[in-house]
Amino acid sequence: MADTRVASGLTVEQWDSQFFTEYLTENRFASEMGTSELNIIQVKENLMKKPGDRINFALVNKLTQSAVTGRNTLEGNEEDMASRSFEVTVDKRRNAVRIAEIDEQFSAIDLREAGKMVLKDWSLKDTEKLIIKALASINGTAIGSADATARDAWLTDNADRVYFASGYSGTDHSAGLTEQDLTNDKLTAADVSAMKYKARVTANPKIRPIRSESNGRHYYILYVDPRCFRDLKADTTITQAQREVALEMENNRLFKGGDLLWDGVIIKEVPEIYDELATDLANLGDAGTVEIGTAFLCGAQALGAAYAKRWKSVEETFDYGDKRGIGIEAIYGIEKMKFGTASGSDTGDLKDHGVVTGYFATSN
């Protein structure tokens, strides 16, 4: 007689392990997440083994000093890495579904399996929302909640990391948005190159690109509002440049179907940028009559993701056992990496570490 065995996909431990694996691989930003200082979204799980509410990330800048040559002395001429630190705070995040016994009876699908897809989809969207809000944040405050004073202070400190399509170079954030008009300030190939130039040349310190494992080349990633992505695809320069891109990048894990490649920048359409930011930036361009779209050019250590507890399933019964619920929960946080530029301070006059923020005119 054979023993009855529970399907591995239905056991809690197996399901949780598979769930987290799928969460990491199916996340829209999965190809840019990793534990190295060279990843766009650096992930740390230090708090998995010890208590605490925040994880410290070391921010490492690019070395720029010339080589010490010949018989010249190296000792005493070492270069300062100018490394700094940034803390990411974690919090508990969870959701659940509940099903009555009668509905389970009528359904041929097990509750755990039935809830798996909707809960996994919710967890992916939760992570994506945190990433978008972090990219657009003003020194840790959601852009829609930051007042004019905070926005202007952020723009002043990040002048080498903010790009207005109109060419605005002042320190009044609202005035910069107002200048954007639909005739001249839609996202184009030239803007992508200009944002890259800011990151690689004029930014101080420079924003490090990431290195592709497949071909050894260096790239930046540009996350784009879908309206701006549509405008960019209408640029004839971009249209002609994409003819050979698919073949060139088919084995590059950073490049997915539908992405664009221009001037060493992989351009990704992210609908969630519209979902999360469109309302906050509605009708702020061209004297209050034009929609503002955003694009975020990211290099190494643009964001930090801190995990104290991976996504895990939980179950509960209600109403004298008539209803069963399944939930998922995690303790984690995602923030844009920042460092202080004030003299002698690691937290004063904060500057975004690995992001160039671009503002463009667009429309619905």
pLDDT at 5 over 50: no
Q: What DSSP letter does each residue of 97-128 carry, written as one string? A: EEEEHHHHHH-SS-HHHHHHHHHHHHHHHHHH
pLDDT score at 3: 43
pLDDT at 359 over 90: yes
- Predicted model pTM: 0.86
* Residue pair 173/149 in contact by the 8 Å Cβ criterion: no
**Strand, helix or coil at 282?**
coil
Buried b or exposed e, range 11-27, using 16+ CB within 10 angstroms: eeeebbeebbebbeeeb
pLDDT score at 267: 96
**Strand, helix or coil at 265?**
strand
pLDDT tens per residue across span 113-171: 667 778 888 999 999 999 999 999 999 999 999 999 999 999 999 999 999 999 999 99
The residue that leads in pLDDT, 157 or 317, is: 157
What span, in angstroms and rounded, lies between the C-alpha atoms of 274 and 363?
11
